[in-house]
Structure 1
Amino acid sequence: MRTEDLPVIDCPKAPLARGRAHGEALRGTIADKVERWQAAIGKAYGRPAAAFLPVFLTVTDFRTAIAVHTPDLLEEVRGIAEGAGISEETAYALQLMDEEWWFGGFDGEGHCSSLAVAPAEGRDTIVGQTMDLPRWHDGAQAVLRLDDGDSETLVYTSAGLIGLMGVSGRGLGICVNTLAQLAYSPRGLPVSFAMRGALARKDAAAAADFLSRVPHASGQNFQVGDRNGIRTLECAAGGVAEIAIADGLSLHTNHPLANTRVAPNARLEGGSDSRTRLRSLHTDFSRGGPVNAETARRALSAQRKGGAVSIVPKGPARTDTKLGLMRQMTVGAVVYEIGKTVSLSVAAGPPSAESWWRLAVRG
């Protein structure tokens, strides 16, 4: 998707109504995406979606944790289903992206790269990332503008999903990256719900507290920032490890740096692509000179050999092969600037190929 085509959907405060607004505004996009998603399931796991999804939803129980920790989001998912004209079960399953991956045994460690920079004299807090997903998500990108009453929250998402990452006018920003090596649970809180639950908190301390006490369904790193500082938490089933941040800078890709609660047969050191992308981020932040939002945008746009941070798809998209459906690409990138004012810079695709659009976030 081109950044200039990125839709911004205004969603009211009430959970059911905000879901309906999302579903109605993106009804056609969601229908197309569901078709691609179900085709991808068949190619990725060797079973058609009609056979895979009922087993996935029967063997797992994420609803209990969601009902305890983020009950409003269950209402939002119901609203998405009503607005989009799809079944509630389909809308619910659509939220379980990371959980579907480990349940299906998809061979991949994820490709998102994230960063957080603490505030300093003359610099606001900066939080950002690339969101790298299978190519079938391309064309479904959107921003949800959530009404928080006295302020708003902007959430970057893939149509039908309650959110991938976001920033609030209260001055709280959250980014994420998959840690597939870490322990998972069929009864934890799924990533999308953990992200939105944390984002609803008033500040980084409250968000970190939420992430530290909920049971996690999937391994995930959370970059959390507010006007006063940054936190980095590697979350897994069974425990959370917070990374000690040196020099006000946190850079992360897709292998754990602190959490050792490993999933079966996983390698904590991660793959070469993840390690190369992490070196790339460090390269851009160690050049000297001022570190600012432009530094972050440049680091997320890097395409160094052996580990491109900004992943540009090659050739036409294909839906008839596993490789064509599941090949990763950067479906969006964000940089939040959190100070007296709050803003979101967003690219609706690989930032090395797409322009950035800066949006003010009402506080």
Structure 2
Amino acid sequence: MSAGSRAAEVRYAEPLVVRVQGGPRERGRQYGALARERVRASLAAYAEVYAKFGGLTWAGATGLARTFVPALERFEAAAVPGGAGYLEEMRGIAEGAGVAFEDVLALNLRTEILFSGKARTIAAAGRAPGGRPPAECTSFCDLRGPEPIVGQNWDWIPFSHGTVVVLESDPDRGPRWVSVVEAGLLAKFGMNAAGLTVLTNALVTSRDVGDTGVPYHLMLRALLDAPSLAAGERLISSATRSSSANYLLVEGDRAVDAETRPGGAAEVHRTPVERGGFLVHANHFHGGDGDFGAPGEDLGPRVMPDSPFRRGRAEHGAELMPEPSLAGWHEVLSDHENFPDSLCCHPDATQHPLEQGSTVASAVFLPARREMHLALGHPCTVPRIRYDYGEFLAG
């Protein structure tokens, strides 16, 4: 099928790079001010998303977000002696963007609010709100060649083409880091000066009901502060997490893939990736239910039925490469088989605008060179931009 069939029109925004430095509140203010219009666009879009998929008004969403503050405070105190400052960072973003702290908090808890809202609606009305948001990502780690090559496609609702930013952070303590993220969120995927690259996939199980705990995007932010892969693994296992997610951590010539469900250390399944191997992950679990502490059905193949296809298609593409390369992985991530629900995902014009999926960003990292090759949009048409962080991440 050609890339034009059933595809809705997409408008890309110009790349926006935001560099911040200093303490948490100061960095947040800089971020909020420099990305003000995109933060406000995120807020307007998520007001519609929460209403449609969670059955929540914005006041309901921010009220729900406030119930997570005690869990965030406990996590901050445990993650970093003296506190990590994530709440202060969000307060700074709100000040810089001229919005309320609760608004930014509700953005950063988008995964938990959607699950919580849906669970509450089911409890009250006996049925879920109509439709479902897309949650498709395909990540990979390739350690077969002379240098590691890692990356992912991030797929989400098409409005995100206008809200994505490249966030470069020089904190007053901890390693410098860079992340590709929706404006207003603390982080998504990226790499830091300690040599750690963090990739991710959304997962969903029958146990994802929005219980209070460490939210998905706060965990991603904390992982970018981690000084090593081992520290990142400890962080994941020591937290009481609110949502299921996959975290692919890469350091040097080794990597660990951590599939997680809501809960603590018993709900983490580790898969090491050694030199000479590769791993592809999509939006369903690879580990069986017996690998976790408590029962919980993997709903990924039902909610995101193209996930097994994307994983298999990417693995097939990887196996066909004579030698792993940036160009080879670009071709894999640009693949249109099973269009529009392909590795390079395009919005389906026959669906509701908020139920459409689209590849918002496609990143290939060369960690040994501290390079990110990023297409902000569909990699089949949008040229990759080379971001050289050799100097920035040497700090």
TM-score (norm 1): 0.89
1:126/1:244 Cα in 2 relative to 1: closer, same or farther (>3 Å)?
A: same
Asked whether the 8 Å contact 2:282–2:308 carries over to 1, the reply is yes
Matched, 1:97 2:103: no
Matched, 1:202 2:253: no
Shift of 1:154: 1.2
1:162/1:217 Cα in 2 relative to 1: closer, same or farther (>3 Å)?
A: same
Matched, 1:280 2:293: no
Matched residue type, 2:261 = A
Shift of 1:297: 1.9
Q: Which residue of 1 aligns with 2:164?
A: 141
Q: Which ranges of structure 2 fall in alignment gaps of 5 or more residues?
A: 1-9, 119-130
Q: Which residue of 2 aligns with 1:319?
A: none
User: RMSD of aligned C-alpha atoms?
Assistant: 2.7
Shift of 1:97: 2.0
Written as runs of structure 1 = structure 2, the 5 A alignment for 1:1-363 is 5-55=14-64, 57-58=66-67, 62-68=71-77, 69=79, 71-105=84-118, 107=132, 110-118=135-143, 120=145, 123-148=146-171, 152-181=176-205, 183-184=207-208, 186-238=211-263, 239-245=267-273, 247-258=276-287, 260=289, 261=292, 266-267=298-299, 270=302, 271-305=304-338, 307-314=341-348, 323-339=352-368, 341-361=369-389, 362=392, 363=394
Matches of 2:87 and 2:66 in 1, distance apart?
15
Matched residue type, 1:290 = E
Q: Which residue of 1 aligns with 2:126?
A: none
Asked whether the 8 Å contact 2:56–2:117 carries over to 1, the reply is no
Per mean C-alpha deviation after superposition, the further-off stretch among 341-350 and 287-296 is: 287-296
Match of 1:336, SS?
strand
Matches of 1:263 and 1:111 in 2, distance apart?
24
Matched residue type, 2:333 = L
Per mean C-alpha deviation after superposition, the further-off stretch among 293-302 and 144-153 is: 144-153
Match of 1:5, SS?
coil
Asked whether the 8 Å contact 2:27–2:92 carries over to 1, the reply is yes
CA deviations on 1:209-258 (whole Å, 9 max, x unpaired) are: 22222221111101111113111100122321002437521100000011
Per mean C-alpha deviation after superposition, the further-off stretch among 301-310 and 55-64 is: 55-64
Identity %: 22
Matches of 1:51 and 1:338 in 2, distance apart?
41
Per mean C-alpha deviation after superposition, the further-off stretch among 22-31 and 207-216 is: 207-216
Matches of 1:163 and 1:62 in 2, distance apart?
18
Matches of 1:268 and 1:118 in 2, distance apart?
27
Matched residue type, 1:309 = L
1:331/1:81 Cα in 2 relative to 1: closer, same or farther (>3 Å)?
A: same
Q: Which residue of 1 aligns with 2:6?
A: none
Matched residue type, 1:144 = L
1:67/1:81 Cα in 2 relative to 1: closer, same or farther (>3 Å)?
A: same
Matched residue type, 1:84 = A
1:211/1:52 Cα in 2 relative to 1: closer, same or farther (>3 Å)?
A: closer
Asked whether the 8 Å contact 2:191–2:198 carries over to 1, the reply is yes
1:199/1:235 Cα in 2 relative to 1: closer, same or farther (>3 Å)?
A: same
1:309/1:74 Cα in 2 relative to 1: closer, same or farther (>3 Å)?
A: same
Matches of 1:164 and 1:176 in 2, distance apart?
8
Shift of 1:191: 1.2
Matched residue type, 1:125 = P
Per mean C-alpha deviation after superposition, the further-off stretch among 257-266 and 150-159 is: 257-266
Match of 1:21, SS?
helix
Matched residue type, 1:355 = P
Match of 1:331, SS?
strand
Match of 1:349, SS?
coil
Shift of 1:330: 1.3
Q: Which ranges of structure 1 fall in alignment gaps of 5 or more residues?
A: 317-321
Matches of 1:96 and 1:205 in 2, distance apart?
26
Asked whether the 8 Å contact 2:300–2:307 carries over to 1, the reply is no
Per mean C-alpha deviation after superposition, the further-off stretch among 174-183 and 150-159 is: 150-159
